[in-house]
Amino acid sequence: MAFCRLSLNLLHLLLVFPLLFLIILGRVICEFTEDIAAQQEADRVVRLPGQPEVSFKQYAGYVTVNVSHGRALFYWFFEATEKPQEKPLLLWLNGGPGCSSVGYGEAEELGPFFPRKRQPKLKLNPNSWNKAANLLFVESPVGVGFSYTNTSSDIGQLGDKITAQDSFTFLVNWFQRFPQFKSYDFYIAGESYAGHYVPQLAEVIYDSNKKASNKHYINFKGFVIGNALLDDETDQTGMIDYAWDHAVISDRVYREVKSKCNFNQKHLARDCNNALNDYFAVYKIIDMYSLYAPKCVKSNFSIDRQLPVIQGIAPQIFSKIEGWHKKPAGYDPCASDYTEIYLNRPDVQEALHANLTKIPYPWTHCSDNITFWDDSPASILPILKKLIAGGIRIWVYSGDTDGRIPVTATRYTLNKLGLKTIEEWSPWYFKKQVGGWTIVYDGLVFVTIRGAGHQVPTFKPRQSLQLIKYFLSNEKLPSKPF
């Protein structure tokens, strides 16, 4: 009661002395603003080793997503190159599961800075997506890249739901650190296993936004996913059909897989296992992620790393085959080697405010610690249907030389959705050339990128920048040369 009387007395004083109220309110706001500014300045990346001069600001550091467990996600954020206050905010997620959005997305696909071959320098990416948006990369889940947990049992409990919830908590807390971006239009993009990550995070945001309280409201508008794992049955069927149609496997191997594997089942029959081993054997000598790109010829400094075999992930049959867990390559097939060398430099980690807890393992593109994935649904289509009905803008794109999640698989998957066709299959253009093909469904747009592999921004950087600009502005891709 004493506290109540004190509160009433204080209220009386404030009513009697409005100037005092304004002074107190002003001090509270000033202290809050100064605290936010201090937090942002602590994350400010002034200059990276070997970095070229740039005019935009960048920030990096950790955001705690679970205090009691000591879980924290590492992020790297770039303001847009021009007029950031007029650009939306875009979150990029790579898949795996267990692979780094910093290592692939930022350093080899669509970020501003790429490590250089045999040089302790960075080169500026002229087609960085921060020309279209304020660009945010997050290493998710914990155990990936610089992201960590102080509770070792967390790693064995990882799965899609935990990853989505931690990513949502990250966003809520990140917006508290950067409140000036909270009102911006917000979008998510990603590729590969982010076909799970992105829609699932979108669903968590969508459901949270419907609640009465707007404390955690995010101005979410839509998402775009590329070469995305979406449905076990169609993804696996599409891989086999694509490989045969592109003269990668023989008629015999094709018939063996088609006759002995049921992709509607989770369990792997022995005959199916043998047939799939013959299928994956081909991708030991050519790049599954880009059929017509060269493989990396290993040199003395090159890092040869096979992804760990992760149990429990989708697709339930292919994930049991060792050949499925293959390290992705890029247009420069050795680019990942340069990235690992650069990000393991102590001066680089210090500049990025990374590895503050001295993680007892080197930074790698994909985590060697994640070997079991507790939760991975066979199909994401129910979530897509829900978000389409909720009016969320959705684009799906596909590089058409990718054998990992090929365009054939994605077309089978989208047909399974049963959406009404609004605009038929037609070409879109990048300058004077056909950039690919597009079809507009009721609630979803599908785009192919001609000649691009699994990591579309790596293989077709200018076309992918055009694609993201048109997606963010909610415009149709050019239907004529320009």
| Residues labelled catalytic | 192, 402, 454
- The letter for the amino acid at 273 is N
> Measured in whole angstroms, how far is the alpha carbon of residue 125 from the centre of its chain?
18
Q: Is 299 exposed, middle or buried (0-12, 13-18, 19+ CB in 10 A)?
A: exposed
Taking the C-alpha atoms of residue 294 and residue 286, their distance in angstroms, rounded to an integer, is 8
- Closest by Cα among 200, 280, 271, 193 to 243: 280
Taking the C-alpha atoms of residue 402 and residue 379, their distance in angstroms, rounded to an integer, is 20
Task: Report the sign of the C-alpha dihedral through residues 95, 97, 102, 104, in that order.
Answer: negative
Taking the C-alpha atoms of residue 183 and residue 191, their distance in angstroms, rounded to an integer, is 26
Q: Which two tokens stand for residue 368?
A: 């060697």
φ, ψ of residue 260 to 5 degrees: the values are -110, -5
**DSSP label of 150:** S
Taking the C-alpha atoms of residue 456 and residue 367, their distance in angstroms, rounded to an integer, is 22
φ, ψ of residue 398 to 5 degrees: the values are -150, 120
- Closest by Cα among 416, 420, 419, 454 to 263: 416
The CA-atom distances, in angstroms, between 324 and each of 176, 309, 393 are 39, 8, 31
Taking the C-alpha atoms of residue 82 and residue 79, their distance in angstroms, rounded to an integer, is 8
Q: Which two tokens stand for residue 316?
A: 């339930």
CA angle 427, 470, 408 (to 5 degrees): 45
Which residues does residue 394 pair with via DSSP β-bridges, in sequence order? 223
Taking the C-alpha atoms of residue 16 and residue 262, their distance in angstroms, rounded to an integer, is 78
- Closest by Cα among 109, 70, 79, 81 to 93: 109
The CA-atom distances, in angstroms, between 150 and each of 66, 68, 263, 271 are 10, 9, 38, 43
394 by DSSP, 3-state: which? strand
Strands (E), 266-413: 393-399
- The letter for the amino acid at 270 is R
